[in-house]
Structure 1
Amino acid sequence: MSEQVEVLPAQGVTNQPARSISWRDYLELTKPRVVALMILTSVIGMLLATSGLPGLSVLIWGNLGIALLAGAAAVVNHVVDQKIDTVMARTRKRPVATGKISSIEAILFAALLATVGMVVLIWQVNHLTAWLTLASLVGYAGVYTLFLKRATPQNITIGGLAGAMPPLLGWTAVTGQVDG
């Protein structure tokens, strides 16, 4: 009596090598060079808002909160542009485009960054700066990335508003108001 037995692989076992995710992959999602330039312009806004130097606390906490929310917006951009990124030479090796970090993992990371950024800005800086920074995230990740990039060649011009926000955010972090 000879029975044929079909051997199936164990569930969850694949021939694919295990993903090796590093903190650098998550850092890359935040577009740190772009965020650094945004923080530079935020500091300029802070310097313009006061006749002397801004307080160390607002300088540190304000820019940390702004950077965290800007990083969250960049992560959302990676998720939304995942398919486009796979076909462009400049972007095809991004962590979400390659599948190294899943879209769900990236969105959870963005949510964490945004939440911590909002908490920092609300508790350590002021509500106005927190809400304007969140509006900037929505403007970049939502309006620019989701709609304008795909709808019009004028996307950079219109979407530039979100990129122009950091000096205003620096100003409001110091003054607590939009006007001088």
Structure 2
Amino acid sequence: MDSKTQSLTISEPVSFADYWTLGKPRVVLVMLVCALVGMLMATPAMPSLLSMFYGLLGIGLMSMGAAAFNHVLDRRFDRLMARTRRRPLVRDKLQTWQALLYAWLLTLLGFAVLVSEANVLTALLTAAALVGYAVIYTAFLKHATPQNITIGGLAGAAPPLLGWTAVTGSVSADAILLVLIIFAWTPAHFWALAIYRCEEYRQAGVPMLPVTHGLSFTQLQVWLYSWLTVAASLMPYVTGMVGEIYLCGIVVINIRWLWLNYRVFKLQKTQLMTASKISFWFSIRYILYCFLLLLLDHFLKIYAISG
């Protein structure tokens, strides 16, 4: 078999799954849950199902577009990391122009949906979050400073605000508070990942905190930001946004959150790698639990008042 025939045999056809992967659907799903909570908490009454559908559709499309841009901008570094070596652009399943076209189509379609079916404010805020993530964070901050995730985390914290504005057309202090929770949570969440993927980031030349400042310093930062997350998570109760049901639930998950991150702070070597991995995966559940508790308290309060 000559080399040309062998190449044709090995080559895999492009599939829908390759394009779907570009959009980081699992990450976007978490974002949409947070956006949905923002929508449902924005008004005392249940928002229109149609307005929520179009709002989530537009936000979801633009978020997947941002993720696809991230794949394009990070493709050179993705080749150097085991965690990202199976991505479609790294495996040459898709060409760069195909990924860019897909990213632009999703972004423009999502923007059009938000402008026509939600409001211009939500479309502009979602576009700003896209630029923050795909350009400011991925193309610049990620490779310029070990504080990349702290500064760039604001874009990833936007979903509840976007959901809020999608149904109200305005920004409120409560919506900003929801953003603050995710913003405070992001460093501990991501640096836990960076600890157990430290050597991969080092090999790829990405200046993540464990690479530039060492594991001990990063462990301390995870621990300190864990407490900042706890403080932010208690603010909805302090401001009267939610009541005792939320408080009881958030105290329970905060105890688990602090314990896991205390282990990240104290453990060394092999135990640290395992502890940081466990902390990272729990952190995803943490933010989901937090927002679901907000939603539960909100609706039980409405039910109590109406009853």
Please report the TM-score for the alignment, with normalisation by the length of structure 1.
0.90
Q: Give the fraction of aligned pairs with identical amino acids, expressed as a percent.
A: 53
How far apart are the structure 2 equivalents of 1:126 and 1:138?
19
What corresponds to 1:49 in structure 2? 42
Q: Does 1:30 find its partner at 2:26? A: no
In 2, distance between residues paired with 1:171 and 1:68? 17
- What's the counterpart of residue 103 of structure 1? 96
Equivalent of 2:7 in 4, 16, 22: 16
Structure 2 counterparts to residues 138-177 of structure 1, below 5 A: 138-177=131-170
Letter in 2 for 1:44: V
Match of 1:136 among 116, 129, 133: 129
What letter corresponds to residue 108 of structure 1 in structure 2?
L
Out of 61, 73, 76, the residue aligned to residue 69 of structure 2 is 76
What's 2:110 paired with? Answer: 117
Secondary structure of the residue aligned to 1:16 is helix
Instruction: Please report how far the alpha carbon of residue 179 of structure 1 lies from its aligned counterpart in structure 2 after TM superposition.
Output: 2.6
Distance of 1:155 and 1:173 partners within structure 2:
28
Structure 1, unaligned stretches of length 5 or more? 1-12
Aligned-pair RMSD on alpha carbons?
Answer: 1.4
Counterpart in the other structure of 2:243: none
Structure 1 runs (4+) deviating above 2 angstroms are none
Deviations 1:89-117 (A, max 9, x none): 01001001111111110000000001110
Q: C-alpha separation between the residues in 2 aligned to 1:43 and 1:85?
A: 31
Please identify which structure carries the higher helix content.
2
Aligned-partner residue type, residue 38 of structure 1 = M
The CA deviation string for residues 113-152 of structure 1, in whole angstroms up to 9 with x for no partner, is: 0111011001111110011101110000000000010011
Choose the corresponding residue for 1:86, options 79, 89, 103: 79
Aligned residue pairs, count = 169
Q: Which runs of 5+ in 2 are unaligned?
A: 174-307
Show the counterpart of 2:59: 66
